[in-house]
Amino acid sequence: MSKSNNHGHAAEHAYHAIKGRLLRNEWPDGTYLRETELAESLGVSRTPVRDALRRLAVEGLVETIPNAGTRVRGWNAQDLDEIFGLRSLLEGYAARLAAQRLSEEEIGELRTLCEEMEAIVARGSEDRSRREALAPLNERFHTLILQGSRNGRLAQMTRQVVSIPLVLRTFTRYEPEEIRRSMSHHREMVEAFAARDPIWAESIMLAHLQAGFAVMKRNQANPTG
Amino acid sequence: MSKSNNHGHAAEHAYHAIKGRLLRNEWPDGTYLRETELAESLGVSRTPVRDALRRLAVEGLVETIPNAGTRVRGWNAQDLDEIFGLRSLLEGYAARLAAQRLSEEEIGELRTLCEEMEAIVARGSEDRSRREALAPLNERFHTLILQGSRNGRLAQMTRQVVSIPLVLRTFTRYEPEEIRRSMSHHREMVEAFAARDPIWAESIMLAHLQAGFAVMKRNQANPTG
DNA sequence: ATCGTGGCTATTGTATACAACTTAGACAAT
DNA sequence: ATTGTCTAAGTTGTATACAATAGCCACGAT
Indicate whether B45 and B86 sit together in one domain: no
pLDDT band at B174 (very low <50, low <70, confident <90, very high): confident
CA distance A168 to B111: 42
Interface size A-B, in CB pairs within 8 Å, comes to: 47
Domain assignment present for residue B4? The answer is no
Question: Is A26 part of any domain?
Answer: yes
Q: What is the DSSP letter of A4?
A: S
Taking the CA of residue B130 and the nearest CA in chain A, the distance in Å comes to: 33
Same-domain status, A133 and A214: yes
Pair B60, B90 in one domain: no
pLDDT greater than 60 at residue B189 = yes
Mean pLDDT of chain A: 90
Closest CA to B93 of A159, A85, A97, A151: A85
Q: Are residues B99 and B185 in the same domain?
A: yes
Say yes or no: B49 contacts chain A, CB-CB below 8 A. Answer: no
Domain of residue B186, CATH code:
1.20.120.530
The pLDDT tens digits for B22-80 are 998 999 999 999 999 999 999 999 999 999 999 999 999 999 999 999 999 988 889 99
Q: Is residue B120 part of a domain?
A: yes
Mean pLDDT across the stretch B147-159?
95
Task: Out of A46, A72, A98, pick the residue that ends a domain.
Answer: A72
Same domain for A87 and A68? no
pLDDT at residue B225, as a whole number: 39
Query: Which residue from A141, A154, A135 is spatially nearest to A91, judged by alpha carbons?
Result: A154
Same domain for A85 and A169, yes or no, is: yes
Within-domain flag for B5: no
Is B55 touching A (CB cutoff 8 A)? yes
- The answer to whether the CB of A32 falls within 8 A of the CB of B32 is no
Domain final residue, candidates B72, B107, B123: B72
The domain tally of chain B equals: 2
Question: H or E stretch including B117?
Answer: helix B104-123
Q: How many CB atoms lie within 10 A of CB B110?
A: 22
Query: CATH code at B66?
Result: 1.10.10.10
> Is a pLDDT exceeding 50 seen at residue B4?
no
Is B3 among the domain residues?
A: no
From chain A, pick out residues whose CB is under 8 angstroms from the CB of B51.
54
The reply to whether A123 and A20 lie within a common domain is: no
Q: Work out if B153's Cβ lies within 7 angstroms of strand C.
A: no
- Clarify whether residues B138 and B164 are in a common domain: yes
Same domain, B209 and B105: yes
Give yes or no for A30 touching B (CB within 8 A). Answer: no
Measured to protein CB atoms, the chain D nucleotides within 7 Å are 11-17, 19-23
pLDDT at A129: 83
A61 shares contact with chain B (CB less than 8 Å) = no
| DSSP at A30 | T
Nucleotides of C under 7 A from a protein CB: 11-17, 19-23
pLDDT per residue of chain A (225 residues) written in tens, 0 to 9: 333 345 568 999 999 999 999 998 899 999 999 999 999 999 999 999 999 999 999 989 999 999 999 999 988 889 999 999 999 999 999 999 999 999 999 999 999 999 999 999 998 777 778 888 888 999 999 999 999 999 999 999 999 888 877 777 666 788 889 999 999 999 999 999 999 999 999 999 999 999 999 998 888 776 543
Query: Are residues A154 and A188 part of one domain?
Result: yes
Residue A1, CB, strand D, below 7 Å: no
What backbone torsions phi and psi does residue B123 show, to the nearest 5 degrees?
A: -60, -30
Residue A27 inside a domain? The answer is yes
Domain membership of residue A1 (yes or no) is no
Q: Specify the long-range contacts of residues B202-210, CB closer than 8 Å, at least 24 apart.
A: B202/B92, B202/B93, B202/B95, B202/B96, B202/B99, B204/B95, B205/B88, B205/B91, B205/B92, B205/B94, B205/B95, B205/B145, B206/B88, B206/B92, B208/B182, B209/B84, B209/B87, B209/B88, B209/B91, B209/B92, B210/B88
The predicted structure's pLDDT at residue A2? 35
- Please report the pLDDT score of residue B170 as a whole number: 66
Q: Is the pLDDT of residue B177 over 80?
A: yes
Are both A38 and A21 inside the same structural domain?
yes
In a domain, B1, yes or no: no
Residues B63 and B112 in one domain: no
pLDDT tens digits, one per residue of B209-225: 999 999 988 887 665 43
Alpha carbon separation from A192 to A8, A89, A98, A189, B137 (Å, rounded): 44, 18, 10, 5, 44
Domain that holds residue A175: 77-221
